[in-house]
Chain A
Amino acid sequence: MPMPEWLRIRRGKHADQRDAALWSKCPMCGEVLYRRDLAANLFVCTKCAHHFRMSAYDRISMLIDGDFAEIGAEVTTGDPLAWVDKKTYPVKIAADREKSGINEGVVCGIGAIDGCEVALGVMDFHFRGGTMGTVVGERLTMLLEEARKRALPCIIFTASGGARMEEGMFALMQMAKTTAAVARFMGDGNFFVTVLTDPTTGGVSASFAFESDVIVAEPKAMIGFAGRRVIEQTIRQKLPDQFQRAEFLLEKGHIDMVVERHELKSTLTRLLRYAASGKKVRA
């Protein structure tokens, strides 16, 4: 999979550093995989088909045809509570930037998937566990507002441990803010798809993730409101492995489809084409 020039520039030195790690071990089957083969296979284990967590830019380059015009990249993390736990919040953010190669938990922008222009937001679990602080909320809101203005469909990939505690109530209120933006976007008759990847929990699952027209999930993705540990502590017993997995949610009727990563791009393209052939009706 060739990397577009703009992406190579944006990822800068971090991508090179990460690529220096030549081998990855599959957390499911233990197979040791050559990193380049793994990337060529869309970060799906060649032995057991385990779907690795993907970085935001890897996802974008997997889906987007050519250029990707980023939205909200200039919005960066504040520290409204002057937060300190074992470390200060700015120190944690700096470490996450270094580790993930991105500057916040979501990358948003406009691009085309197989010729269909789309507003795309991709969360990245490698940055603060994909938690939603005000930057994530603000960027997604900017994305939805731009999509509404241009009457584009919107796809958001979720990967999140929930609201970002280091920003306190400012983080919780992003659930309200993104929901308000989704409601306006959808109210104009625009098409909204969410793709839930491992894991999607807490304040993200309880807001825009479950507000879309079509909810797609990746195989075995952990999806739920309460974390597994919290439930296990509450009921004082172990949960079965398939509990809160994508397949379990499909069976229960919470999501529309479970799609393997190799089929994801073609599936999303078909969905975008179905929606594009309709005549929009405002709510």
Chain B
Amino acid sequence: MNPIVEREKGLLEVERRINDLRTANANQPVDMSAEIAALEQKYEELQRELFASLTPWEKVHMARHPERPTALDYISQFEAFDELHGDRHFRDDAAIVGGFAMLGGHAVMAIGQQRGRDTKENIKRNFGMVTPEGYRKVKRLAHTASRLGLPIVTFIDTKGADPGISSEEHAQSEAIAMCLYEFVEARVPIVATVIGEGGSGGALALGIADHVLMLEHSVYSVASAEGCAAILWSDATKAEEAATRLKLTAADLQRFGIIDEIVPEPLGGAHREPLAVVARVLEAVRRAVQRLSAGTPEALLEERYRKYRRIGAWGTGRRENNGTTP
């Protein structure tokens, strides 16, 4: 069970009691507003206590929260959206949603990793784990966008690329590599937002961008905390420690220069006020697209190359580089 969901159960109970009291108060002469106010204060305190500061491990669970807004919750709020389907070879992967969209009066190519919001949809969407067919759809859409001069807007939300037999038979490695290749070469602004979990190479396939945003409580990591614990500690119960050590939070990654902007979430997480969060993200994306659209494609490509060229941490005889070099 997701520990964030567990915590919310207690809060929901208080919420229900407040509502009951309000209903009762309206229907009877005795004034209970003092009691209601006290409960409301209690509710506020509890909420702050539970959610004001989240550990990296808690953020991992917040990022996986079943009610957290998914890619389609964002894409559906564009001014227009026409979905395009399929990899033109084999299959349409429902874990990728993509197509033409309108944002701030301008056309863009929107592409997102889509997990399900319930079990039935999760089966259809393969829990947001993308297969090679999905990555080939991404590559195709990015290529069209680059040719037409439409900015690319991506939403990242995956545990990782699909690790199945069929995916290996259909060249998962090549499919991801070709996405990376397409994104480094695309002659249009790319804005990526990590809205939930950004898991490994399967996430990076949509993640090479001129401007990378992260929701405050989303995570972005080289490997899942569980996977990292199993490999480096040989002990799956060390996942919490791994989550801390991996530095997978938005604040850490902004400090490292790996992401560019953090979009704040309401107390308790994005799912508490989903529409407000979606609007905030889309506004940040729109601003980034607008700023990046001002220059020439050549300048954009040069800046993108430099940005990734300098990411690293190494020592030489002459200099010590921890984080990124200017």
- How many residues on the A side are at the interface (Cβ–Cβ under 8 A)? 61
> Is residue B26 within 8 Å, beta carbon to beta carbon, of the partner chain?
no
**Cβ–Cβ contact B172 & A168, under 8 A:** no
Find the B residue at minimum CB distance from A223.
B173
> In the docked arrangement, what's the CA distance between A203 and B228, Å?
14
> In the docked arrangement, what's the CA distance between A76 and B308, Å?
19
From 165 to 218 in chain A, residues with beta carbon under 8 angstroms from any chain B beta carbon are 165-177, 179-184, 187, 202-203, 205-211
| Residues of chain B contacted by A83 (CB below 8 angstroms) | 245
| Residues of chain B contacted by A187 (CB below 8 angstroms) | 185
**Cβ–Cβ contact A170 & B313, under 8 A:** yes
**Cβ–Cβ contact B322 & A78, under 8 A:** yes
User: For chains A and B in complex, what number of residue pairs have CB atoms within 8 angstroms?
Assistant: 190
**Cβ–Cβ contact B164 & A231, under 8 A:** yes
| Residues of chain B contacted by A9 (CB below 8 angstroms) | none
Interface residues of chain A: helix, strand, loop or mixed (majority): helix
| Residues of chain A contacted by B228 (CB below 8 angstroms) | 165
> In the docked arrangement, what's the CA distance between A168 and B313, Å?
11
**Cβ–Cβ contact A81 & B204, under 8 A:** no
> Is residue B220 within 8 Å, beta carbon to beta carbon, of the partner chain?
yes
Q: Give chain A nearest CB distance to B218 CB in angstroms.
A: 13
> In the docked arrangement, what's the CA distance between A64 and B321, Å?
32
**Cβ–Cβ contact A180 & B322, under 8 A:** no
Q: Which of B174, B204, B256 contacts A175 (CB 8 A)?
A: B204
> In the docked arrangement, what's the CA distance between A234 and B193, Å?
28
Q: Which of A135, A180, A224 contacts B173 (CB 8 A)?
A: A224
Q: Given that A173-B258, A175-B204, A224-B168 are contacting pairs, would A165 and B177 also be in contact in the complex, using a CB cutoff of 8 Å?
A: no
- How many residues on the B side are at the interface (Cβ–Cβ under 8 A)? 58
| Residues of chain B contacted by A78 (CB below 8 angstroms) | 312-315, 320-322
> Is residue B50 within 8 Å, beta carbon to beta carbon, of the partner chain?
no
In the complex, per-residue mask of A74-97: 1 if CB is within 8 Å of any chain B CB, else 0: 111111110111100000000000
Find the A residue at minimum CB distance from B135.
A206
**Cβ–Cβ contact A75 & B232, under 8 A:** no
> Is residue B253 within 8 Å, beta carbon to beta carbon, of the partner chain?
yes
> In the docked arrangement, what's the CA distance between A28 and B174, Å?
29
Find the A residue at minimum CB distance from B233.
A85
> In the docked arrangement, what's the CA distance between A208 and B232, Å?
25
Q: Which of A75, A173, A202, A205 contacts B316 (CB 8 A)?
A: A75
> Is residue A33 within 8 Å, beta carbon to beta carbon, of the partner chain?
no
> In the docked arrangement, what's the CA distance between A243 and B164, Å?
12
**Cβ–Cβ contact B168 & A176, under 8 A:** no
The 3 A-B pairs at the shortest CB distance, nearest first, are namely: A134-B312, A80-B313, A226-B163
Interface residues of B (CB under 8 A from A): 161, 163-165, 167-169, 171-174, 176-178, 180-181, 184-185, 200-201, 204-205, 207-208, 220-223, 227-228, 231-233, 238, 242, 245-248, 253, 256, 258, 304-305, 308-309, 311-318, 320-323
Interface residues of A (CB under 8 A from B): 74-81, 83-86, 134-135, 137-138, 141, 163-177, 179-184, 187, 202-203, 205-211, 223-226, 230-231, 234-235, 239, 243-244, 252, 254
Q: List 6 A-B contacts (CB under 8 A).
A: A81-B245, A167-B222, A170-B256, A176-B204, A203-B222, A225-B172
